[in-house]
Amino acid sequence: MTASGASELPAPMQAWLAVLTHEQRAAPLTVSAYRRDLLQLAELSRGRPLEAVSPHDIRRYVARLHGQGLSGRTIARQLSCWRGFFAWWARTGAVGANPVVGIRPPKSAKGLPQALSPDQAVALLDAPQGAANDPFALRDRAMFELFYSSGLRLTELASLDIGPALNLRDAEVTVTGKRSKARTVPVGTQAREALAAWLQERARHARADEPALFVNTRGARIAPRSIQQRLALWAQRSGLGVHVHPHMLRHSFASHLLQSSGDLRAVQELLGHESIATTQIYTHLDFQHLAKVYDAAHPRAKRKP
């Protein structure tokens, strides 16, 4: 079995992915990630009927994955997928107890999300890019300004359409996040100016029937992977010396906003987090920033040699 597509998954797994896609309206990237996790489970359980998989089997699979070097976080994500699949399958009456219930991933060190410093963010976005007549440099600048200005997820930005969702007059944009939940977030001045410049240029490149705000050189909606590649190239050309990915701009947005305002609830709402616990990771980033300031400025912060 290979990971080439859903057709190679057992029928119950295909059925669950169909439910996620058509009934629960899960994001395409989420469905794709679940497909990979289900393929992993199918590989691990090869030779054993899925309905016969036991908690003991799941523990063996977890030990094998951990032995292959997978992190606790990655295994936790896979267990979450498997747990969801078996829970759905049990509700259909095809299997009994969920074998993944109570199975925990191995512990791994918690890493903080990577964020740029405010100076790095400014240097990245202000860096001159491309030829003066390159229309897609205007597109890239608009995308990256919007990432940092409004804290969007990659899929949220890629799925934006022209129309009422983008309201430059009132400086706000409405996006559809996880679990198909919509939220409206503000758009900063620099991002508004970059978006206005791109909108003037977009009409020359987008197909007549293409609703996407950001299009590729063929006039169709730009893919998330292409956005990642363009941002990495932009950061490289800026001379920042740091690999930058879209989620880093979202992390930077959250961290810098929290440093300035201290309002965790507001940051939670702007990011679209369901739980405040998810947003609290940025308090650790904020503390790191404060600790550096303390170490550099306080006369009693460091021991004298």
**Is 148 in the active site?**
no
- 3-class secondary structure, 19: helix
- Quote the Cα angle for 104-106-108, to 5°: 130
**Is 247 in the active site?**
yes
Rg (CA), the chain: 23
**Is 178 in the active site?**
yes
- Catalytic one among 35, 139, 141, 153? 153
Residue with the two structure tokens 């009409």: 203
CA distance 120 to 137: 19
Contacts 24+ apart (CB under 8 A), 15-21: 16/84, 16/85, 16/88, 16/89, 19/88
- Catalytic one among 178, 183, 205, 289? 178
**Is 205 in the active site?**
no
- 3-class secondary structure, 150: helix
Position 187: which residue type? V
**Is 282 in the active site?**
yes
- Catalytic one among 141, 202, 250, 256? 250
**Is 304 in the active site?**
no
Half-sphere exposure of 271 (CA within 13 A, CB side): 27
> Shortest CA distance to 90 belongs to which of 76, 100, 105?
100
Query: Using CA atoms in the order 84, 90, 95, 96, what is the torsion angle rounded to 10 degrees?
Result: 110
- Quote the Cα angle for 15-16-18, to 5°: 65
Residues facing residue 212 across a β-bridge: 161
Active site residues: 153, 178, 247, 250, 273, 282
